[in-house]
Amino acid sequence: MINGSQGSRRIMKMAKILLACSNCRISIVAGSNASLKECLERELALYLGSRVRIYGFTKDIKKHMLAADILVVRASPNVLMEAVNLCKPVIVTGALKGQEEKNPEFVVRYNLGLVCRDLKKLSDSISELLSQNGKRLQEIYASQLRFRNPHAAREIAEFIIGADCGSTAEIWRPALSSCRKLV
C-alpha cells in the first residue's frame, strides 16, 4: 500500500480489512508522517514481521513496488504512472479533489487497474484480480505493457532540445547525451 508522502489514517482501515479477509502479506509505505508510522506499528503489532511491514519515507519506492504483486494506492499521477511503467496492477482507493479526481476514470478506461470506492469491498477487488488463475491480472498487465512508455523522459528531453528553446536546450543537451548512452 502506498499512501502518498504524508500518509493517512485511512490506510489503517485498509490494512485491517485485508488482514481480516485474506491471507495476504502487506507492505505499507506511510510516507513522512512519523506519527502515522508509529500508530500503524502499534495497531498492527501482532502482524509485524509475519504479514505486515511498515516503512516511513523512502527513496527506494521502486524496490517496494517491484516486490509487490498488487499495489493499493491513491490516484496520485506519479504513483500510477510508475506502477504502469513497472507493469504492476493497481487498486485505486481514492483521489484528491481537483488534480486527481479524473485519474480513477483514466485507470478504468485504459484497463490499468481497478477502482475500489468502498473500502469494505477491497478484499473483493483483490479476489477479482486473482480469480480464474489471475485472468484480470494478466489483462491488466497486457494493457499496461501496451500503454507504458519507458522512453518518455528521453523523448521529452529531445522535444525540448528540438523546440529551439534557446538556453534551456543547451542546459538539457548534456543530459540527453547521457540518456542515449544508457539506452
Q: Which helix (H) or strand (E) holds 182?
A: helix 167-182
All structural domains of the chain with their residue ranges: 10-147, 152-182
**Amino acid 173: pLDDT:** 59
Q: pTM of the predicted model, to two decimals?
A: 0.82
CATH assignment, 10-147: 3.40.50.2000
Cα-flanking dihedrals φ and ψ of residue 36, to 5°?
Answer: -65, -45
Alpha-carbon span 135 to 148, nearest angstrom: 20
Q: Are 30 and 37 within 8 A, CB to CB?
A: yes
The grid coordinates listed for 133 are 488463475
Which amino acid appears at position 36 of this protein?
Answer: L
Per-residue pLDDT of the chain in tens (183 residues, 90 and over written 9): 887 655 577 888 999 999 998 789 999 998 888 888 999 999 999 999 999 999 988 899 999 999 999 999 989 998 999 999 999 999 999 888 888 999 999 999 999 999 999 999 999 999 999 999 999 999 999 999 999 988 888 888 888 887 665 555 565 556 556 555 444
